[in-house]
Amino acid sequence: MLGIDAGLTRTKAALFDLDAVGREVAAAGVEGAVSRPFPGAAERSMDQAWTDAAEAVRAALASARASGADVAAVGVTGAMVGVWPIDDRGRPVRPALLVADTRGQEAIDRAAANDPDALDRIFRSGGCVVEPGCTLPALRWLVDHEPEAIARTRRVLSCKDWLRYRLTGEVAADVTEAAVAPGDARARNRSPEMLRIFGLEAHADLLAPVRPSESIAGVVTAAAAAETGLRPGTPVAIGAGDVPCSAIAAGAVDPGMACTVLGTTCHNGLVAGEPVFEPPNVGLLFTMPERLWLRVMVNLAGAPNLDWALGALFPDLAAADSGASVFDALERIASARPAGVEGLLYHPYLSEVGLIAPVVSRGARAQFSGVRAAHGRADMLRAVYEGVAYAIRDCYAAIGRPIAEIRLVGGGARSDFWSQTIADVTDTPVLTLEGGEFGAKGAALLASVAVGRRRSVREAAREATLVRRRFEPDPARAAIYAEGFARFKAAREAIVALHRS
C-alpha cells in the first residue's frame, strides 16, 4: 500500500507491507516552498505540488526496490482546507491559497459585523474556530479580489484532492474536508448555512462532491503513471485530511482514545462517538470515518520550541550540526536537571498567531517565569521540554473527558525523554508507535479498506498499530508536576489577561 502525505512544505510518500500494513517498508520526501508574495499571503504552486508528489513516489519505490506493479492501492492525505482552484480543463487557475494564508480574515470580520452571532453559529455547526485560511473565507477573498480568477474556476479543491485529481482525473472531496470548510459536523458534510454566512451561495457548485474517505476515487491514469512510476489502473482511495489520518494510523479509532501529534504544531485529540462542541468557541472538531469525531485542542508551536532552545541556548551544539545526535545531547543535558527545575516555567507560545487553545489570545507569546539567579541554560532547556508537556495537559484538561492513555506520534515522539516527561506531566501513560510517516500510513490504511483488504477502518487501524514503547508516569515526578501545572495555568491566565488589556 502506498500513502502520500503532502504537508505545507514537505511531501512524503511511504510504502507499507500489504499483509501487515503497520510495517513501513520505505519512505521518501521532497522539500517544497511556500510563497509569501506579501504580508498575509501563503501560496503554493499547484503544478509544483504535483511534481513534488510524483518525485516522492518515485523515490519511495526506488528506496524499496519496488515497481509500480507492486503497489496494490494508493491513499492520499495532506494539509487541510485552503483553496486549490482548477479550470474546466483541470488546470490550476492560480497558486493555491494555503491554510496559513490570512487574507480571508476580512471575510470573517465582515460576517461577524453583519451578524454578531455569526462566529457562534459557525462553531455550533462545525465545531471549529474558523481560521482565515479555511476554504470558505479564503474563497470569499478570491471572489472579492480576483473575480477574473473566479470566472475561470470550475472547481475548488484541497491539497490532497488536487493530488488525487492528478492521479485519477476524478474530482472529489471527503467528509473530513467538507466539515471543516467550515461545514456541518453533525451531517458530516457541507453546510448551506455556512455558505450563506460568507455570501457564497452562488458559488456552491465550485465545491467538489463529497464522498467517504475509505471509498475508491478512481484509478491511476496512464499520464500519472508515467510521472510517478505507478501502474496504470492502480486503485486510488478518496483519503482524508492529515490530522484524521494521523489519528487513524495511531490506532485512535475508538471513543475515549487520545492521540497527540507532536510535530511543527501540537495537536491533542480525543476520539468521540458523537460531535463534541465543548468547550465552546475554542479548538477544532474533525470528522473521521465510520461515525467517529476527533475533538482537538492545538498548541500552535510544538517541536519548534526545541529548535528555538537549541539555537538560542545552545548555539555551540547547533553549530556542530550533527543531526539527531544534537537532540540526543539536548536530552542528556535536560535529563540531568531536576523535574520541575525548582519552579522555572516555560509557556510554549512561539507561534506568531499566539494561543488558540485552551483559550484564544492572539497576542500571547512564549516566555519563562520563575527564573532564579541559580538557573542556567540547562534548567531553561528542561523547562522547554516540560512547558510543551504542560501545554498538552492544558489542552486535554479543556476537553474535559477522561483519558486512559495518550498515543504520541510526530517528530517529538522519537524522544524517549520527552515522551516520559509528557507521561509524568499529564500523569497518564504514553504510548509511542513504530514507524515515522503516520499521515501517509493513515492514507494507506484507508486505501486498504477501499480495496477490500480490510473490512473496516477500525479493523485496519487496530491491526496496524505497533507499539514501540509504553511510558508509565512516575508518581514522584507526577506529584511535582501537579503543583507545577497549577502555576502554569495561573501564569497562562495572566499572560492572556496582559494581552487582553
Tens digits of residue pLDDT in 358-410: 998 989 999 999 999 999 999 999 999 999 999 999 999 999 999 999 999 99
> For the chain, what percent of residues have pLDDT higher than 90?
91
Residue with cell 479498506: 449
CA atoms within 13 A on the CB side of 174: 34
Question: Using CA atoms, how far apart are residues 176 and 149, in angstroms rounded to an integer?
Answer: 26
How do residues 472-492 score in pLDDT, each as one tens digit?
999 999 999 999 999 999 999
Say how many C-beta atoms besides its own lie within 10 A of residue 100's C-beta.
19
Q: Where are the domains of the chain?
A: 2-244, 304-400+481-500
Cell of 61: 519505490
The sign of the torsion formed by the CA atoms of 27, 245, 31, 142 equals positive
Could you tell me the three cell numbers for 257? 482514545
Label residues 14-42 b or e (16+ Cβ within 10 Å = b).
Answer: bbbebeebbebbbbbbbebeeeeeeeebb
- Fill in the DSSP letter of residue 230: B
- pLDDT value, residue 324: 67
CB atoms within 10 A of CB 8: 19
Coil, helix or strand for 235? strand
Residue type, 140: R
Q: Indicate the pairing of strand 406-409 with strand 258-262.
A: parallel
Q: Does the structure show a pLDDT above 90 at 272?
A: yes
For the cut 70, the answer to whether the pLDDT of residue 501 exceeds it is no
Rounded to an integer, what distance in angstroms lies between the CA atom of residue 80 and that of residue 159?
Answer: 7
pLDDT on residue 323: 65
Mean pLDDT lowest among 16-20, 36-40, 108-112, 155-159? 16-20
Question: Homologous superfamily of 2-244 in CATH?
Answer: ATPase, nucleotide binding domain (3.30.420.40)
Extended beta strands in 273-392, E state: 284-288, 292-299, 345-347, 367-369
pLDDT at 20 over 70: no
> CA of 216: how far to CAs of 50, 170, 238, 359, in Å?
20, 10, 6, 39
Helix (H, G, I), strand (E, B) or coil at 85: strand
Angstrom distances, CA of residue 469 to CA of 47, 101, 252, 407, 482: 41, 38, 16, 10, 24
For 179-207, the pLDDT digits (tens) are 999 999 999 999 999 999 999 999 999 99
What separation in angstroms does the CA of 311 have from each of 7, 257, 327, 366?
24, 35, 12, 15
Residue 210: all three cell numbers together: 463529497
Helix runs in 219-298, H state only:
222-228, 242-249
Domains 2-244 and 304-400+481-500 share a fold: yes
Angle, CA of 125, 443 and 131, to the nearest 5°: 35
Helix or strand holding residue 491 (H, E): helix 475-500
Give the CATH superfamily of 304-400+481-500.
ATPase, nucleotide binding domain (3.30.420.40)
Identify the weakest region by mean pLDDT among 268-282, 302-316, 350-364, 424-438.
Answer: 350-364
Contacts of 89 (CB under 8 A, 6+ apart): none
Question: What helix, strand, coil percent values describe the chain, rounded to 5?
Answer: 40, 20, 40
Instruction: Report the chain's mean pLDDT, rounded to a whole number.
Output: 96
Residue 182 near residue 136, CB atoms below 8 Å: yes
| CA gap 177, 160 in Å, rounded | 10
**What confidence score (pLDDT) does residue 18 get?**
74
pTM exceeds 0.85, yes or no = yes
- State residue 347's pLDDT score: 98
Q: Phi then psi for 59, rounded to 5 degrees?
A: -70, -40
Per-residue confidence at 334, pLDDT binned at 50, 70, 90? very high
Phi and psi at 295, nearest 5°, equal: -85, 125
pLDDT digits (tens, 9 = 90+) for 129-182: 999 999 999 999 999 999 999 999 999 999 999 999 999 999 999 999 999 999
The pLDDT of 421-443, averaged and rounded, is: 96
Q: How confident is the model at residue 321 (pLDDT cuts 50, 70, 90)?
A: low
